[in-house]
Amino acid sequence: MVVYNRNVRDSLDVAEHYVARRGIPNVNLCAIRPPQASALDWGSFEGSVKVPLQKCLERAGRDKILYIIFTYETPWRLDGLPNGPHAIDQFIADIWDEAYPPRGDPAFGRPHPYFAGAQSQGNVYSPFVSFADYRASPSARTVYSVWRLDGANAQLAKDLVDKAIAAETSGLRGQACFDRNRGEILSVPDWEYGSGDWDLHMAAEFARETGFAVTEDSHEQEFGTPPAPVCHDAALYSGWYSLDHYNDAFTWKTGAIGFHLDSSGAKDPRGGTNWSANAIIKGITVTSGAVGEPYLEGMAHPDGVFRNLFEGANVGDAFLRNIRQLKWKILNLGDPLYRPFPNGLPPFNSGSLASESSLAFAHQVMPGGAPGLGMITLAKPAPAGGTLVSLRSTDPKSAALPENVRVPQGARSATFSISTTWVAQRTYVRISALGPVNRTNTLVLMPPSQGR
């Protein structure tokens, strides 16, 4: 479904350009008449966006639509709700209120049903399921992947489509750049801000596995601020952190996909100092960012996004599957149908989960004193006699483990118990599986009142 502002000729031009380039039927064009092209209050949003778009979806077949694309000069910001500005696009993603209450949760809430959580440090990722396959399942909620063809002018909005199609034809190659800021990754716990560094590190690892030239920087300074490097011929990027600022440290390849982990990354998709608007001006093809404070967990997770793209996903599926919550703060900018790697990239296009080791916890965050459960997975089935895996805890007083666990012959995984004790404050325990697994994960113990 392609949504345009009937009050603005350029908005229709962008919509017509998109449907022509992608062969979308005219019945999937939807006109709205918002009083403003930027911010709306709740009443204006319901009357001029939500209800008209519901009628368009009913006309086209609400269950047949997967992706909704807002075009240039349509409103993006919803004002007047608790916790600051929200993204109109993400309220439209749950337009039938099947996943969340009509006005969303009062604060950062539960994951939406298509979201795939991960434990990055432990290399624990769900198998990719396309959004179409999810929506075809009997228990699916009718949610949508919502995107925006927008920018400082109508031509830049059209370019997002043209560059995506060009990259699908010629292939996306170049450099993959990831900007961490917490030094040696093995010393960083995979929780809170540390989880952002682990997401970025694993994204870099996945890109290396596919053969991309990778720059992974761990200086506190952003790319383009010495001693941090610049990123020429950038095809893929994610990193952090300067609030509401774009460092001109990139040259973007046609088809480039990149996003910045900051709380105002897409504060205004048509201009200002924010990262996404300026990346579009400078030539990026796909980006994502927040209109207001989303918390780190509410942003797109770079490891999951890029991993899914390497598996052959389009960007509409990859970003939706790795953004935790709808009715929140995120704008996605670009063409959701864009598949940069239509056949996937090895090893991720050939059942890669079958050849990876991992260390998972049933609950990565849990109250101290509660019993825990871990699972180790081998890259290959255990040989005759099974495989013995040694286990280690950096704080055995807080989280005690058996010395080892045996994976039975022919199996790839085995579970083990974790005995925890009451803690007075948040406690990080690194647990390692040695030998053929060689994975570490961070268990987070909370005081009981905070661990529920």
Condensed to tens digits (0 to 9), the pLDDT of residues 260-287 reads 999 999 999 999 999 999 999 999 999 9
Indicate the SS3 state at residue 373: strand
Helix residue ranges per DSSP H, 181-314: 193-210, 275-282, 302-310
Tokens for 66? 């997967």
pLDDT in tens, 206-232: 999 999 999 999 999 999 999 999 999
The answer to whether residues 72 and 151 touch, using CB atoms and an 8 Å cutoff, is: yes
Helix residue ranges per DSSP H, 23-72: 42-45, 51-60
* CA separation for the pair 149, 281 (Å, rounded): 13
Q: Which residue ranges of the chain lie beneath pLDDT 70?
A: 105-108, 351-355, 449-452
183: left (phi over 0), alpha (psi -120 to 50) or beta: left
Tokens for 380? 């290959």
For the chain, the domains span 1-161+252-352, 357-450
pLDDT for position 104: 81
Residue (of 5, 88, 43, 96) closest to 329 by Cα position: 88
Residues, the chain: 452
From first CA to last CA, the distance across the chain in angstroms is 40
pLDDT for position 451: 45
Return the residue matching tokens 């290399």. 123
* CA separation for the pair 258, 149 (Å, rounded): 15
pLDDT for position 242: 87
* CA separation for the pair 403, 391 (Å, rounded): 5
pLDDT for position 370: 96
Q: What are the DSSP E strand ranges found in 330-377? A: 330-333, 358-361, 365-367, 371-377
Return the residue matching tokens 């949003």. 45
- What's the topology of domain 357-450? Immunoglobulin-like (2.60.40)
pLDDT for position 243: 93
* CA separation for the pair 413, 7 (Å, rounded): 59
DSSP labels, 421-445: ---SS-EEEEEEETTTT-EEEEEEE
Residue 234 identity: A
Return the residue matching tokens 């309220």. 91
Residue 407's alpha-carbon distances to 135, 141, 163, 305, 309, in angstroms, are: 36, 38, 48, 31, 32
The answer to whether residues 353 and 127 touch, using CB atoms and an 8 Å cutoff, is: yes
Residue 314 identity: N
pLDDT for position 108: 67
Return the residue matching tokens 């479904």. 1
pLDDT for position 5: 98
For the sheet containing 330-333, what is the strand order?
29-32, 2-5, 67-71, 145-149, 330-333, 287-290
Tokens for 309? 């793209």
